Structure formats: structure tokens, C-alpha cells
């Protein structure tokens, strides 16, 4: 959006000494001292938190609109001030009077100069932090990021993802997918998109809801994000380019409101699948298929067209079996799936913690059994029987006709009531190893001894009481160790901590025939 208020609102010098010390992305709000989503006013250089933290940046603008004098000239001048601010993490510029992100600049290019200065401050702080950590690495007794593995000391190479403003839902999913080896490796090995030529070459792209550029690639930005993780070259990576593409192609996720991680995962996988069907960066789809013939050979699950790595890894097939209770007519339908959404049985919904007494603990097997058990459809779901030629009472049952390589299980923790969407906070016990899916198969006799066994690869957890609030983190296994991903912070954890988590999304990887029962 072209903002008309920049000339009167951008008043600070690009190298202003009024800026706080340290990394801009970790600056604290001058009111509540929160370092989440800091925004700097481009009139007075004061720092406040974003509207989805405590909203002090917006309040700073609103307070400035009260005229200080009765003179019309000064009133007009005051109202024009403090309207434009910059995100200290993504460097996007926002105007409160226009209520939109800004893409233009002043005649002197002050916005870009401030942006470059903040980037330099961030890079300097990062370099200093990296130098400090390198010094600490020299002394293992002072560094908590050193681990003993098989008698030798190694450093963590995991990279966190910066929160761009309530984007923890995206970060948790990205970290989980990055630890699904076969899926992640496919994207990392794709060819990179050529750099743009001319005046736009190498130029950074910033968030805007009204920018007209539609030539974006989700696959490319997803590839670059996965490549940035696990390199060990930085403590945190900022996925703003990927988030920009998400805004462009997934309108539901525009803005900085908290979103549902499962909904985002489905949108992400669906759009990756659709983009890959048409080829990528000039590489034909047939060439990609030829290079990954082993991966796609056994895949029979095609969603919205031909097979891609998304359906080859996550794709399974359900058999939906419906029986008319009046005439006994049986109807069968095969439905492809990328994940299974499981209800938490109602008898367990009052049980919140693992250690709470009052009956048995809900297990993942209870949720799977509830999903596949024979169910009588209620009056609102009457089945149209072709033999009776009218809607009749019926029963429904799901069978799994084909298991995927990666089994994604979504626990339905959010339920609508009359006016609210409540959270089911029940603890669900889940295995780290050896989840046996054989008893849920349509034809279990045709499966191998270990082809139905799954080991846990990642878990997404929702902390808080509602879908529109709270916080998402993820646990994931990498090279035999478990890590906890909390936005830009990555810590090593243990299996005991993982199994105590109140899982929201579970990613299970099919156990290979040669893998031992005690290995992940």
C-alpha cells in the first residue's frame, strides 16, 4: 500500500542514538518490558509491543492523537506524528492511520535507511552472540549446549525459528516437518530458483496485504527454510519470506492473529502438493518423478490429481463402509487421506493429567479404536439408501486400506459449543516406539511383520486454553536425540519429558524392516 503519511511521520535519523542497545528483535516494550513482537515508532524511536502481545504500540499511536494545544496548526502536526512503525523482527512497516502495511518510502529513502540500520544492529548483535558462544564452547564446563554422546562431546546444531508475531503455529509445524527425514531431504535436493535480474535482483521482500506480485513459489521458500535448519550456522532463522508467500496464497493466514497449527499444516501440504504437480522451477514433473522413482513407485494415493512427494509420504487410503439398517445394503467408498483426525473419547474428557486418579488414562489406542469402531449414524446423518430409495438409519465403519509412510494423527482438542470453541485438555498417552496399526487394517494378512509398526518422529503441543490464544511448541527426534523447539529457542530434552506432553499432532514414521525394535 502507498502510504501518504510517511513524510510527516518518519522523523528519526537512520542511525539514531536513541535506539536501545542490543538486538532489535529482542528489544523490550518501554511499558510492559515484553520482548515479544517489538515495534519501533519512526517518529520518536520508542519501542512498544505489538497488538497481539499487549498492544502498547497501537496505544502509543492513539495517545499521540490527543492534541497538545488548541492551535489548529499544532493539532494537525501532532495528529500526523507517531502513525508509522517498523517491526523489529521482520522490518515490515505499518501505518496505523491507513491500517495497512506500507510498501513506499520517503523521498529521501528514510524508511529503507532505518531498515538497513536495524539489520546492521541485528547482525552485529548476532555476530557478538556467536563469538560469545564460540568462547563458551571452548570450555565445556561453562556451556550447557554440549552433550555427551557415546563418550564424546558434541554441540547442538539445531536452529530455531523467529516468531514474526503469533507465528508459533507455523514454527511448530515447520520444525516437525524438518525432522521427517525422507520428506525434508526431497525438498532440500530440489534445484534452487534463479535469482531475479535487473533492479530487483537480491532485493528483500516485505509483508504487505495489497502488493500485486503473484509470482511466488511456496515450494522454493519452503525449500530455503528447510535448508536453513540444522546447519548450525545460526541460532535462529527468520522465515519472513515463507510467511510472505503464505500470506499471498493462503488468505486465511494473513495478519498476526494466532492460528490453528493443524489447519495450517493441511493448507501447507495441500498447496505444496498442488504446486509440485505442475513441476518446479522449470524442472518438469516427469524429471522429478524419474529422480525419485523409488519414493513414488509404491504410492497409490493420489489427491487432486497425480502423485507428489506429499501423497507419497503422508498419503494413505481409508475404506468408508456404510450399512443400511433397514435392508442391509452395504456401500463402500475409498477416501485418500494425509492425516487422521481422532476424537478423544467422551469418558476421558474430564481427565486432565497423567497422574490424576479417577479411572484409567486415555491412550492413543483408545482414540484410534473410537475412530474405527462401528458407529450408528444419528438422525442428522441419515444415509441415502439406493435400494430403499430414501434416507435410512445406518451404521458406519472406517478401515485403513493403505497405511502411509508417515502417519500423522491429529487429536481433536477443540470443540465448538453454542458460542465458544473449547479445548479438551485431556492427557493422551502415546508410545514413542512400536505403534502397531495392524489391527486397523482392512487386510492385515497382506502386511509384513514390521510394515505396520511406527516410531514417533515429532509432536506438536498447544499450551493454553483456546485455539485463538495460547502458544505452540514442538518436540522432535533428530539423530537419536530429542529436541524441544520453542520458536527461536531450541533445547535438548529427554524421552520422559516428551511422553508427558499433551499432544495435539503426532507424526509417526513407518519402521524400516532392518530397524531394531529399540531404535527410532
Would you say 424 and 349 are in contact if contact means Cβ atoms under 8 Å apart?
yes
Would you say 272 and 311 are in contact if contact means Cβ atoms under 8 Å apart?
no
Q: Which residues, 6+ apart, have CB-to-CB distance to 472 below 8 Å?
A: 168, 169, 171, 172, 261, 460, 461, 462, 463, 504
DSSP state of 517: T
CA-wise closest residue to 50 among 18, 83, 87 = 87
Give the three-class secondary structure for 438.
helix
Partners of residue 153 on adjacent β-strands: 148
Contacts of residues 138-145 at CB distance under 8 Å and 24 or more positions apart, as own/partner, are: 145/492
> For this structure, is 29 an active site residue?
no
- Cα separation, 511 vs 201, in Å, equals 45
Q: What is the DSSP string of 41-106?
A: ETTT--EEE-TTTT-HHHHHHHHHTS-SSS-HHHHHHHHHTT-EEEETTT--EEETTTTEEE----
Q: What is the DSSP string of 310-357?
A: HHHHH-EEEEEEEEETTT--EEEEEEEES-EEEEPPGGGTT--STT--
Give me the residue label for grid cell 486454553: 465
Partners of residue 321 on adjacent β-strands: 332, 397
Q: How many CB atoms sit inside 10 A of residue 365's CB?
A: 16
From the candidates 88, 95, 168, 385, give the one annotated as an active-site residue: 168
> For this structure, is 471 an active site residue?
yes
Element (H, E) at 168: helix 168-178
The vertex-437 CA angle with 351 and 354, nearest 5°, equals: 20
- Cα separation, 6 vs 14, in Å, equals 14
- Cα separation, 374 vs 322, in Å, equals 10
Grid coordinates of 329? 445394503
- Cα separation, 374 vs 323, in Å, equals 10
Would you say 492 and 478 are in contact if contact means Cβ atoms under 8 Å apart?
no
Catalytic residues: 168, 471
Amino acid at each position: 500500500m502507498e502510504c501518504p503519511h510517511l513524510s510527516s511521520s518518519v522523523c528519526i535519523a537512520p542511525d539514531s542514538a536513541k535506539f536501545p542497545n542490543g538486538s532489535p528483535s529482542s528489544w523490550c516494550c518501554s511499558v510492559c518490558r515484553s520482548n515479544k513482537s517489538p515495534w519501533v515508532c519512526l517518529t520518536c524511536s520508542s519501542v512498544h509491543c505489538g497488538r497481539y502481545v499487549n498492544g502498547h504500540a497501537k496505544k502509543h499511536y492513539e495517545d499521540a492523537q490527543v492534541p497538545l494545544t488548541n492551535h489548529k496548526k499544532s493539532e494537525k502536526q501532532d495528529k500526523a506524528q507517531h502513525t508509522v512503525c517498523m517491526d523489529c523482527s521482520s522490518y515490515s512497516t505499518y501505518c496505523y492511520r491507513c491500517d495497512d502495511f506500507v510498501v513506499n518510502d520517503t523521498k529521501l529513502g528514510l524508511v529503507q535507511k532505518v531498515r538497513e540500520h536495524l539489520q546492521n544492529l541485528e547482525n552485529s548483535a548476532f555476530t557478538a552472540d556467536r563469538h560469545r558462544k564460540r568462547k563458551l564452547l571452548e570450555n565445556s564446563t561453562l556451556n550447557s549446549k554440549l552433550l555427551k554422546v557415546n563418550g564424546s562431546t558434541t554441540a547442538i546444531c539445531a536452529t530455531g525459528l523467529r516468531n514474526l508475531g503469533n507465528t508459533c503455529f507455523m514454527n511448530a509445524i515447520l520444525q516437525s516437518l524438518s525432522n521427517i527425514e525422507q520428506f525434508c531431504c526431497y525438498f532440500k535436493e530440489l534445484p534452487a530458483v534463479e535469482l531475479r535480474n535487473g533492479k530487483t535482483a537480491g532485493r528483500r521482500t516485505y509483508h504487505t496485504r495489497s502488493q500485486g506480485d503473484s509470482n511466488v513459489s511456496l515450494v522454493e521458500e519452503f525449500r530455503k527454510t528447510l535448508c536453513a535448519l540444522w546447519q548450525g550456522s545460526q541460532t535462529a532463522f527468520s522465515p519472513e519470506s515463507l510467511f510472505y508467500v503464505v500470506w499471498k496464497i493462503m488468505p486465511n493466514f494473513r495478519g498476526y492473529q494466532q492460528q490453528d497449527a493443524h489447519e495450517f499444516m493441511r493448507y501447507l501440504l495441500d498447496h505444496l502438493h498442488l504446486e509440485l504437480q505442475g513441476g518446479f522451477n522449470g524442472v518438469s514433473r516427469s524429471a522429478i518423478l524419474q529422480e525419485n522413482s523409488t519414493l513414488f513407485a509404491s504410492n497409490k494415493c493420489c489427491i487432486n490429481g497425480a502423485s507428489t512427494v506429499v501423497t507419497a509420504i503422508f498419503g494413505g487410503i481409508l475404506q468408508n463402509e456404510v450399512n443400511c439398517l433397514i435392508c442391509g445394503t452395504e456401500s463402500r467408498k475409498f477416501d485418500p487421506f494425509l492425516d487422521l483426525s481422532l476424537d478423544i473419547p467422551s469418558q476421558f474428557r474430564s481427565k486432565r493429567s497423567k497422574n490424576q486418579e479417577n479411572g484409567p488414562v486415555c491412550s492413543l489406542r483408545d482414540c484410534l479404536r473410537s475412530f474405527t469402531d462401528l458407529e450408528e449414524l444419528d438422525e442428522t446423518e441419515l444415509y441415502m439408501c439406493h435400494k430403499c430409495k430414501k434416507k435410512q438409519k445406518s451404521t458406519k465403519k472406517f478401515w485403513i486400506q493403505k497405511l502411509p509412510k508417515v502417519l500423522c494423527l491429529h487429536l481433536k482438542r477443540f470443540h465448538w459449543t453454542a458460542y465458544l470453541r473449547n479445548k479438551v485438555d485431556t492427557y493422551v498417552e502415546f508410545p514413542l516406539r512400536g505403534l502397531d496399526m495392524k489391527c486397523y487394517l482392512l487386510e492385515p494378512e497382506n502386511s509384513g511383520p514390521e510394515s505396520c509398526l511406527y516410531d514417533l518422529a515429532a509432536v506438536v503441543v498447544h499450551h493454553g486454553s483456546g485455539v485463538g490464544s495460547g502458544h505452540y511448541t514442538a518436540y522432535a527426534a533428530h539423530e537419536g536425540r530429542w529436541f524441544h523447539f520453542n520458536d527461536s529457542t531450541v533445547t535438548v530434552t529427554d524421552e520422559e519429558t516428551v511422553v508427558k506432553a499433551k499432544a495435539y499432532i503426532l507424526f509417526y514414521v513407518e519402521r524400516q524392516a532392518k530397524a531394531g525394535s529399540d531404535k527410532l
